[in-house]
Structure 1
């Protein structure tokens, strides 16, 4: 069953955020757009490149009212240690959520059970707490924050413009489509 348009499940966790340990729950994701960005583990290889890319683009996500939550099955203590020891991770200003029990990772159906690690899962969640984008990639394939931002912009656009849809490669400001009987077979 697809997670698209399903409401996120309740959770509570501790995150490392701006030099502090803070509590994060499903309630924090409601009322605004959110990205929940799962990755396998701290102190690895592809993961810091992805998290650094998100950090480099964080201001643009924030300007659109989007909060990013990175999640791995590491603890919040491990997130702090990684943050303190890596120049790339030190740039991060978004919450780094610890999920050592795997509860959140299982809620989003991205747990690799035999490894106790998360898949590279990306979820865009609307202000009602419903999942609008799901992307899962293999462990060796890094994600691109600019493409994620494009998808967020498209999700925000269609939420604000019922009856319109965004075609492939749509960029903000470009034309959208209004599905109708007259459009069938004309694209």
Structure 2
């Protein structure tokens, strides 16, 4: 699979639910280019189990993202009506009431496909074995847990893709935003386990010597 790192993020126009209640028909990614960083994340399905824990984790840290000028956008292959219904359901009943960032409907699977996170496979007129059983088992077309950090120029600078059972760490996403913004401001690169406020380094031989001699 060709990596999307350092490439222009695929724009999309799709239906979405914004502010936890309003359905819009022409939500685009490019509306944020030039003004905001974007944290675009994909999740498999509405009304599931790991997904709401991730969605609430992003919502609980939304002020941390806002202070870094980052727009969070969620995407799944469910319809906008499904997103809306889930957003009206309280947390205690498995819903995501109170979530305010946009949730995009990728019902045609094109966004997930373009970002390389679409699970499953299309099967047209599959072959059949004796007894009427299909010899090829189709798998559901839903998104893996993909996460993409997109800079203000619309370039993908970080990505992470998890399998369905593995929830993401929101604080790691914030750490990567801090690292990108620090690099953009200072020109220094961020070594392993770097966190905001720690020493970075110049991308030179002298820089790494200085780093290890700190």
In structure 2, the gaps of 5 or more residues are 122-139
**Runs of at least 4 residues of structure 1 off by over 6 A?**
none
Give how far 1:181 is off.
2.5
Q: Is the CA contact 2:42–2:75 (under 8 Å) kept in the aligned structure 1?
A: yes
Q: Look up the match of 1:20.
A: 22
Q: Look up the match of 1:9.
A: 10
Instruction: Give SS of 2:99's match.
Output: coil
Q: Look up the match of 1:97.
A: 104
Q: Look up the match of 1:57.
A: 61
- Alpha-carbon distance between aligned partners in 1 of 2:117 and 2:209, rounded to the nearest angstrom: 37
Match of 1:159 among 181, 184, 205: 184
TM-score (norm 1): 0.94
Instruction: Give SS of 1:117's match.
Output: coil
Give how far 1:167 is off.
1.2
Match of 2:85 among 81, 84, 104: 81
Is 1:110 matched with 2:117?
A: yes
Give how far 1:74 is off.
0.5
Q: Give CA-to-partner distance per residue, 1:65-118, whole Å, 9 cap, x none.
A: 000000000011100100111325112110011110011111111001332100
In structure 1, the gaps of 5 or more residues are none
Give how far 1:185 is off.
6.7
Greater shift after overlay, 21-30 or 64-73? 21-30
Q: Look up the match of 2:137.
A: none
Structure with greater Cα Rg: 2
- Alpha-carbon distance between aligned partners in 2 of 1:180 and 1:169, rounded to the nearest angstrom: 19
TM-score (norm 2): 0.83
Is 1:67 matched with 2:71?
A: yes
- Alpha-carbon distance between aligned partners in 2 of 1:38 and 1:29, rounded to the nearest angstrom: 18
C-alpha RMSD of matched pairs (Å): 1.4
Instruction: Give SS of 2:96's match.
Output: helix
For 1:103-182, list aligned pairs within 5 A. 103-114=110-121, 115-162=140-187, 164-182=188-206
